[in-house]
Structure 1
Amino acid sequence: MSQVGGSQPDRNKKIIIVGAGIFGLSTALHLARQGYNDIHMCDYQPYHENNYACSAGCDAASCDENKILRASYGDAKLYQDLAFKAMPVWETWNDLLSQTPEKELPPGLSPDVKLWHNCGFLRLSDGDDYDQEKEEQTQNKFPPNIKHTQYRVTDVRRRKEAQADGIPFSKIDPFDRFEKGLPMDGVLDMTAGFVLASRACAFALHLCHKLGVHTYFGPDYGMKSLVRKGTRVSGIITNDGNEHNGDIVIVACGGWTPSLLPEIEQLVETTAGSVLSIRLPTDRQDLWSKYSPEQFPVWSWSMGSFELGRNLGGLYGMPRTPEGVVKVAFRGAKWTNYAHRSNASGREISYPKTDVDEIPEEAMQVIRTFCEENLPELLDLELERGRLCWYSDTFDNSFLIDYVPGTDNLVVANGGSGHGFKFLPVLGEHVVDVLEKKDTEYTRLFKWRGVPDGERNGLEEGPGGWRSLDKQKLVGREEWKRVTPRTSSAEDNRTVSKL
């Protein structure tokens, strides 16, 4: 590791972080831990009032019931290693939370509720779509001392070893496909699980406050524009019209970033996954038991092989939350919403559409069809909420964390691409390295890069692409229990991210 120029960083500089999702939170946390003493973080969302709860109207990607925590990254070993680095820190956060008196915690947090649940992650397909190559890459790069935690579900010997290891069979086959005689293949990865996302953000914010980070939340504190003077950015103007000066500005606004920072318009696209939340009735203790983290794993189904109108894929789901909410989601089609025009370039830019509680009909049909075969009891329950979860996808699914070219003190931290949340406890360390212009394998991984020719993770489609919401019929609760055959006239085939 080396530092360009060899100079020591000035930790008295005033740093403004725009955005208090996981990129902003983690950056603020690690800046404070490394001795920076003038950190200011703002966000248009009133996190001081709603504590990141999506049920209270939070619409950032970081605000969610839960997120997957896994290290299975195929041949992307640096991301694998970073995930394994995060896991023990999540354990530390569990311990720290459990030891904190409830009166010292923000609302919604309790010392009795863990943030990180190591319940296992079951990566499945119907057999024909089993991604043998990627799974082999993952297994080959995993450290030898954890190989025993990986159980191939079609291997009878490994199923018996899982039972001997105390793993309930319901985590090998939560959908009863073996009993039904249905095809299935995959791996149960017992290093993985899920994090209670909104609670984790609230806890990270709590840690930031304890370290002296200044925060400004609510509609007035959303960034309206940057204040540029030549190659420098002297600060930001917030929605209330006030100017806030700073020595360094870090823009970490998730799916809103392309509309605020024209330089990344061709590198990042704002896209949405489709999320359904089903609340288990309190009198159905059988379902509370079935979907508990002790009995039910995080799962995915054919994440790399969805084809529009032709197969089931791009699906994932979670055990229940402490409140009894089960999440089933579809990321096989990354929806776009080209509803914003750039003031700088005139381009149409995908922009989060958060004022709906509906999802595209295609997504609803895929989720419902999957549940009809695998989780039929959920279709007997009322759908509590449907929503679109808006991410920022880079053209290569790798994060974009770097100084913006042509500027001296403007940094972007973006491009979570649907897999960033797990790194909340550790990502900020590498953002600080970028800030201090250190040369590491991660600053090189996240660095600014040029726009390639050809396919760019869907970015090449633009507003004319098939994923645009203006081409979709949106449906809500009334469609959840309606059983209709899946149909699609689309001829396009698209696959989901391999990360």
Structure 2
Amino acid sequence: MSHIEGSEPDRNKKIIIVGAGVFGLSTALHLARRGYNDIHMCDYQPYHENSYACSAGCDAASCDENKILRASYGDAKLYQDLAFKAMPTPENELPPGLTPEVKLWHNCGFLRLSDGDDYDQEKEGQTQNNFPPDRKHTQYRVTDTTRRKDAQADGIPFSKIDPFDRFGKGLPFDGMLDMTAGFVLASRACAFALNLCHKLGVHTYFGPQHRMKSLVRKDNRVLGIITNDGNEHTGDIVIVACGGWTPSLLPEIEQLVETTAGSVLSIRLPTDRPDLWDKYSPERFPVWSWSMGSYKLGQNLCGLYGMPRTPEGVVKVAFRGAKWTNYAHRSDASARVVSYPKTDVDEIPEQAMQVIRTFCEENLLDLLELELERGRLCWYSDTVDNSFLIDYVPGTENLICATGGSGHGFKFLPVLGEHVVDVLEKKDTEYTRLFKWRGVPDGERNGLEEGPGGWRTLDNQKLVGREEWKRKPPQTPSADNDRTVSKL
């Protein structure tokens, strides 16, 4: 059903948003900006106290030191255009209350790399073809001598072309430095958005007692939600935007969305190492990724990414080549076992640690000399095709799911809610069609076809922490293995 042109939606409806991460925050902001005046947002995390800081125990995917902001999407031009729209402009990149020393948006560049053999020429070509003409000059192929000289002439330090000194070491690599991109201080951005929500009159309910326990259903309608404290909260429309917890709350999406985890390590630079603070600063070091393909168990080095240091000196290195699952929750409605976030561990799978360590041994050796501050699993909601799922739940006229961030949703915080509100108002747009409910494809479904029997499940993994990060003595290469990387 399409929105009737010229008709006005009822903006006095009471709307309940379950979840205060990026999807929930952005939805609340755009509802308020569009004139809705009875908006209620709940979450089990006390965000009003911990400001979304993962170091304070926040465990949603939105709660992080930093997140990549990039518009490189291959042939997915609608996502590219939406990402460019979400990028801060010079006049609004520094919101009130933040100083120049602690700004949200760092336009430090994004270096997409591989060892050369698996350079994704096709996808990179699609990205470059889709970029607007006035931004094409911001793209620098690292193996192109002319473009390297152009980067130098444009004032870009060579350390952003080759932060791992692979030229100096004689190691193969290829890739693209994209100077439209960078990173956002994620937790701070969420806290800032929450403050805007409060200023716009959004009612918030935070803390364990406000965790949604179940929906209240009657026939083809949802009457509201029941929270952990036993209270029932009625509403005209319920929007479930709980990230990795969504499949456990909405059985209808179990075959479309799977909760998966990436492996994230945080290394804090010592305050007495100004050389490292300078090397990993956003002014000299880019956001980077390495061979963002599928990981083959014990066989390849891929799915890695990392960030420059934060203002506090934290450098992040992460592995997303294997998307870990945790089939530990049985749905009350369907009786299926679904993957569920396991956030009570400060370790990562040994396979992930091995990949990260091997990469660092060749490219970021100085990080292995430092203490690992924290290892953790960051839980996402992955759809069958990595595209968001924002739509009314079939068969329920006033229930909307807004989920499926699939590891790339954070960057859309400023703009995503606009399209959730369009869904709510049943408008027919290119984005409501992009995010709409869809069927389950045959064959491969972004890993969902594996289920509890897949190799990625946590019960098949050995978890390791700080003890495995300590730098180990270098191994003497054997005659048939002179590169550790090739024998992962």
If the TM-score is normalised by the length of the shorter chain, which range does it land in?
over 0.9
| 8 Å Cα contact 2:88-2:105 kept in structure 1 | no
The residue type equivalent to 1:94 in the other structure is E
Query: What residue in structure 1 maps to residue 261 of structure 2?
Result: 272
Aligned to 1:307: 296
1:166 aligns with 2:166: no
What does the per-residue CA deviation read over 1:64-119, in whole Å, with 9 as the maximum and x for residues that have no partner?
00000000000000000000111136x55423x2xx3x4xxxxxx65641111100
Counterpart residue identity of residue 44, structure 2: Y
CA distance in 2: counterparts of 1:253 and 1:264, whole angstroms: 13
Q: Give the length in aligned residue pairs.
A: 474
CA distance in 1, matches of 2:249, 2:119: 40
Q: Which residue of 1 aligns with 2:457?
A: 468
Q: For residue 74 of structure 1, what is the amino acid of its counterpart?
A: G
Q: For the Cα contact (< 8 Å) 2:141–2:175, is it kept in 1?
A: yes
> Which residue in 2 is equivalent to 1:377?
366
Deviation at 1:482, TM superposition (A): 4.9
1:437-456 alignment to 2 at 5 Å? 437-456=426-445
1:433 corresponds to which of 422, 425, 440: 422
User: How many Å separate the matches in 1 of 2:195 and 2:144?
Assistant: 45
* CA displacement 1:452-477 (0-9 Å, x = unmatched): 11110000000000000000000000
Q: Which segment is superposed worse, 64-73 or 301-310?
A: 301-310
Give the aligned partner of residue 488 of structure 1.
none
Say if 1:185 and 1:305 are closer, same or farther in 2 by CA, change over 3 A: farther
Q: Does 1:286 align with 2:286?
A: no
The reply to whether residue 401 of structure 1 matches residue 390 of structure 2 is yes
| TM-score of the two chains, using structure 1 as the length reference | 0.93
State TM-score, norm by structure 2. Answer: 0.95
Instruction: Provide the residue aligned with 1:16 in structure 2.
Output: 16
Q: Which residue of the other structure, out of 248, 254, 277, is the alignment partner of 1:259?
A: 248
Alpha-carbon distance in 2 for matches of 1:345, 1:110 = 50
| Seq. identity, % | 87
Aligned to 2:195: 206
Matched ranges for 1:89-100 at <5 A: 91=90, 93-95=92-94, 97=95, 100=96
Matching residue of 1:335: 324
- 1:120-173 Cα offsets, whole Å, 9 max, x none, are 000000000100000001001111111110000000110011000000000000
Asked if the contact 2:265/2:318 (under 8 Å) is kept, the reply is: yes
- Per-residue CA deviations over 1:32-75 (Å, capped at 9, x if unaligned) read 00100010000000101100000000000000000000000000
2:482 corresponds in structure 1 to: none
Secondary structure of 1:407's counterpart equals coil
1:306 shift after superposition = 3.0
Q: Could you tell me which residue of structure 1 aligns to residue 114 of structure 2?
A: 125
Deviations 1:180-202 (A, max 9, x none): 00001000000000000000000
Give the alignment of 1:183-202 within 5 angstroms: 183-202=172-191
**1-side partners of 2:73 and 2:383: how far apart?**
17
Instruction: Name which of 172, 178, 182 aligns with 2:167.
Output: 178
Q: Distance in 1 between matches of 2:427 and 2:48?
A: 34
Q: 2:392 is aligned with what amino acid?
A: Y
Equivalent residues of 2:263, 2:352 under 8 A apart: yes
Contact 1:131 1:304 in 2 (8 A): no
CA distance in 2, matches of 1:4, 1:138: 36
**Do the aligned residues in 1 keep the contact of 2:368 with 2:471 (CA within 8 Å)?**
no
CA distance in 1, matches of 2:472, 2:131: 42
CA distance in structure 2 between the partners assigned to 1:450 and 1:152 by the alignment? 39
Code of the residue aligned with 2:15 in structure 1: it is: I
Residues 411-446 of structure 1: per-residue CA shift (max 9 Å, x gap): 000000000000000000000000000000000000
Partner of 2:407, secondary structure, is coil
In 2, distance between residues paired with 1:402 and 1:75?
23
Contact 1:4 1:439 in 2 (8 A): no
* 1:3, distance to aligned residue in structure 2 (A): 1.7
Contact 1:398/1:417, CA 8 A, preserved across alignment: yes
User: How far apart, in 2, do the equivalents of 1:308 and 1:136 lie?
Assistant: 29
Report how far residue 7 of structure 1 moved: 3.4
- State the alpha-carbon separation in 2 of the partners of residues 318 and 468 from structure 1: 27
Q: Distance in 2 between matches of 1:143 and 1:468?
A: 41
Aligned to 1:494: none
Task: Check the 8 A contact 1:2/1:440 in 2, yes or no.
Answer: no
Cα separation, 1, equivalents of 2:296 and 2:92: 39
